Chain A
Amino acid sequence: MASISRREAIKIIGVGAGALVAGNLAWVVKALASDEATIRTLEKTVWYAPPPSSNTKYAMVIDVKACIGCRRCAYACVNENNIDPNTGIRYIQLLELEKGKSELELADPYYEKAPKKDKWYLPIQCMQCENAPCVKACPVQATWSDPDGIVVIDYNKCIGCRNCMAACPYGARHFNWKEPELEKQNVNKDVPVRSTGVVEKCTFCIHRVREGKTTKCTEACPVGARKFGNLYDPESSVRKILEGQHVFRLKEEMGTEPLIYYVG
Chain B
Amino acid sequence: MSDDRKSRVKRFLGVSRVKRFLGVDVTTGEFLTAGYRYWAWLGALVLLIIGGLVAWAFQASYGLIITGQRDTFIWGLYIQGYLYFVGLSAGGLVIYASVELFGAKQFKPLARIAVLQAMVCCLMAIICIVSDLETPGRIIWFLRTPNFASPFIYTGSGVTIYLALTVIDLWVLTKVKKVSQNTALTLTLIALTVAIYLHSTTAWVLSMERARELWHAAIMVPIFLSSAMVSGVGLLILIAYFFQRITRMRFPQRMFYSMSTLLATLIAVDMFLLFIEVLSVLWPTSASPGHVIRLMLFITGRYAPIFIPEVLIFGIVPFFMLAIRKFRKNPVMQIAASIMVVIGILMKRFVLLAMGFGLSPIGPFKVNYSPGLAEIMIILAICAVGALVFSLALKLLPLEELE
Contacts and interface: CB of A to CB of B under 8 A. Distances in A.
Contacts of B103: none
A137 B215 CA distance: 15
26 contacts: A104-B361, A108-B363, A133-B210, A136-B147, A136-B149, A137-B152, A137-B209, A140-B141, A140-B146, A141-B141, A141-B147, A157-B138, A159-B141, A160-B135, A161-B152, A166-B75, A167-B211, A170-B361, A171-B363, A174-B71, A175-B64, A178-B62, A178-B64, A197-B134, A254-B210, A254-B211
A179 B146 CA distance: 27
B365 interface: yes
Nearest to A166: B209
B212 interface: yes
Given A160-B134, A196-B65, 14 more contacts: A88-B70, A95-B362, A103-B290, A104-B362, A105-B363, A107-B363, A108-B364, A136-B147, A139-B142, A159-B133, A166-B356, A177-B64, A179-B63, A196-B63
B146 A124 contact: no
A64 B363 CA distance: 17
A210 interface: no
A166 B209 CA distance: 7
Given A139-B142, A142-B141, A105 B293 contact: yes
Chain A interface, >50% SS class: loop
A109 B65 CA distance: 23
Interface in B127-179: 132-135, 138-139, 141-142, 144-147, 149-153, 156
A171 B360 contact: yes
A170 B150 contact: no
A171 B362 contact: yes
A209 B133 CA distance: 33
Given A124-B362, A167-B209, A167-B211, A162 B75 contact: yes
Interface residues of B, number: 45
Interface in A180-221: 196-198
Given A138-B147, A142-B141, A160-B135, A165 B71 contact: yes
A163 B212 CA distance: 12
Given A140-B138, A169-B210, A177-B65, A163 B150 contact: yes
Nearest to B294: A105
Interface in A120-163: 124, 133, 136-142, 157-163
Interface string A101-124: 001111111100000000000001
Given A140-B146, A177-B70, A179-B63, A107 B134 contact: no
B63 A159 contact: no
Contact of B152 (A110, A139, A178, A197): A139
Interface of B: 62-65, 69-71, 74-75, 132-135, 138-139, 141-142, 144-147, 149-153, 156, 205, 209-212, 289-290, 293-294, 356, 359-366
Given A136-B149, A165-B74, A174-B71, A159 B360 contact: no
Given A140-B138, A176-B63, A177-B69, A169 B361 contact: yes
A169 B366 CA distance: 17
A35 to B, nearest CB: 11
Contacts of B359: 105
Contacts of B134: 160, 196-197
Task: Report, nearest first, the 4 A-B pairs whose CB atoms are least far apart.
Answer: A197-B134, A140-B141, A139-B152, A169-B211
A125 B138 CA distance: 28
B346 to A, nearest CB: 21
A66 interface: no
B147 A95 contact: no
A10 to B, nearest CB: 44
Contacts of A165: 71, 74
A242 interface: no
B63 A140 contact: no
Nearest to B366: A110
A248 to B, nearest CB: 16
Contacts of B145: 140-141
B284 to A, nearest CB: 18
A93 interface: yes
Contacts of A157: 138, 141
B86 to A, nearest CB: 16
A89 interface: yes
B365 A109 contact: yes
A107 to B, nearest CB: 4
Nearest to A164: B150
Contacts of B139: 159
Nearest to A110: B366
Contacts of B365: 109, 171
A173 B105 CA distance: 53
